[in-house]
Amino acid sequence: MKSKALAAVGVTVVAALALAGCSAGGSSSSGSSTKLHIYAWSGEIPDSVIQGFEKETGITVSVDNFDSNETMISKLAAGNSGYDVVEPSQYAVPLMVQRDLLAKIDKSKLEGFDNIAEKFVNPSFDKNNEHSIPWVWGTTGILYNEDCTGAPVTGWKDLWNEKYKGKIYMLDNMLSAYIGGMQVKGLSATSTKKDEIEKGTQALIEQKPLLAGYNSDNYADLVATGDACIAEAYSGTAAAKAVASNPSVHYIIPEEGGTLWTDSFSIAKNAPNEDAAYKWLNYTLKPEVAAKLTDDGASASANEAALKLVKDQTQVTNPAIYAPADSLKKSEFIVDPGKALAYYQDGWTRVRAS
């Protein structure tokens, strides 16, 4: 359920990066901190994790939430944010590093990094995890009702099948929609080539007459009830609930690839409570703590060692929370398209007008 990791990437990021050359203010603490200020996505840090950290360390935690990576970047770029730990999505990490908004993580101060699942170690967007420690992850894939489709669905091509005309939904988000539009043509969802993006645009224009609409809100409910046969979908609570409530509803990663997203904990440059920030990283790297993200937050943890400690193992086996590893071999991390964003915006305008 991560439109946030994909929404209008680069539109307001560009504005944030165009700000005057300021970096987050404050001075790094070398002593023992009693406070920790976190800037994170809503709903991604269960209260049980915060309460456990406070009890173990005696450090008081305050958490503010942002509604987009762009908001978070702008806040830190303005200077003197006062935040110690921030939670950027994958595409935001290199943008923040370019602006010198994140501190390089001293691996000698970390305990438990080897608990992180291999697919999140040394990712393309953050070499050697120098500025980010993965916390939560998810996917963009397909949700379908087999009672409606009449057969198993395997890939994006099924969302272009005239058999399901009027019962197909695509996500109401530009770059999310282009994931299917690009990959159904055998192209990378992260392409920055004008001619390839044009092929993705044409695929979406060809698909438009088959759609019931673009929907990022209640598509999971519609699939669960059979009012829709098939939908492009975000993993997470809504899709997981649909899968759990109806044995005919399935969430899959399309054979063409689909995409991965991850939100990570990073230390803000010049964090006023840097020692407390490292204590937070080490605490959340504990498998028993990371397991609470699934038990209490219904989200997928990037901590491989945490999976066996999740109390409700039906959440671990629910593909709408934890996609099977073998289905992710072709999945891509969505990254900032940079100047190519204009090609996507132009194409999206034509798709919506078609």
CATH of the domain at 85: 3.40.190.10
Question: Measured between alpha carbons, how far is 172 from 35 in angstroms, rounded to an integer?
Answer: 40
Amino acid 5: pLDDT: 44
State whether 181 and 109 are in the same domain.
no
Nearest one of 281, 280, 326, 288 to 307, comparing CA atoms: 288
State whether 193 and 65 are in the same domain.
no
Q: Flag whether 167 is in a domain.
A: yes
State whether 343 and 215 are in the same domain.
yes
Amino acid 33: pLDDT: 83
Q: Flag whether 168 is in a domain.
A: yes
Here the tokens at position 118 are: 């291999």
State whether 181 and 108 are in the same domain.
no
Q: Flag whether 9 is in a domain.
A: no
Specify binding-site residues.
Answer: 91
HSE, side-chain direction, 13 A CA sphere, residue 9 = 29
Instruction: Encode the chain (354 residues) as per-residue pLDDT tens digits.
Output: 454 445 445 444 444 444 333 333 344 444 578 999 999 998 899 999 999 999 999 999 999 999 888 899 999 999 999 999 999 999 899 999 999 999 999 999 999 999 999 989 999 899 999 999 999 999 999 999 999 999 999 999 999 999 999 999 999 989 999 999 999 999 999 999 999 999 999 999 999 999 999 998 899 999 999 999 999 999 988 899 999 999 999 999 999 999 999 999 999 999 999 999 999 999 999 999 999 999 998 899 999 999 999 999 999 999 999 999 899 999 998 888 989 999 999 999 999 999
Helix (H, G, I), strand (E, B) or coil at 332: strand
Specify binding-site residues for spermidine.
Answer: 91
Nearest one of 159, 167, 260, 270 to 219, comparing CA atoms: 167
Q: Which residues, 6+ apart, have CB-to-CB distance to 278 below 8 Å?
A: 106, 109, 110, 267
State whether 286 and 340 are in the same domain.
no
State whether 209 and 344 are in the same domain.
yes
Amino acid at 16: A
Q: Flag whether 284 is in a domain.
A: yes
State whether 293 and 215 are in the same domain.
no
Supply the range of the domain harboring residue 249.
138-259+331-353
Cβ-based burial of 253 (10 A; exposed 0-12, middle 13-18, buried ≥19): buried
Count of domains in the chain?
Answer: 2
Nearest one of 204, 118, 191 to 337, comparing CA atoms: 191
Q: Flag whether 19 is in a domain.
A: no
Amino acid 236: pLDDT: 86
State whether 349 and 231 are in the same domain.
yes
Identify the DSSP state of 209: G
State whether 274 and 292 are in the same domain.
yes
State whether 219 and 162 are in the same domain.
yes
Amino acid 31: pLDDT: 53
Here the tokens at position 345 are: 């915006």
State whether 160 and 289 are in the same domain.
no
Amino acid 237: pLDDT: 84
Q: Flag whether 220 is in a domain.
A: yes
Q: Flag whether 315 is in a domain.
A: yes
HSE, side-chain direction, 13 A CA sphere, residue 224 = 14
Please, what is the Cα angle at 183 between 199 and 333, to 5 degrees? 120
Strands (DSSP E) found in the chain:
35-41, 60-66, 85-86, 133-145, 168-170, 211-214, 230-234, 249-252, 259-267, 300-301, 332-333
Q: Flag whether 20 is in a domain.
A: no
State whether 128 and 192 are in the same domain.
no
Identify the DSSP state of 119: G
- High-pLDDT (> 90) share of the chain, %: 84
Here the tokens at position 28 are: 């790094």
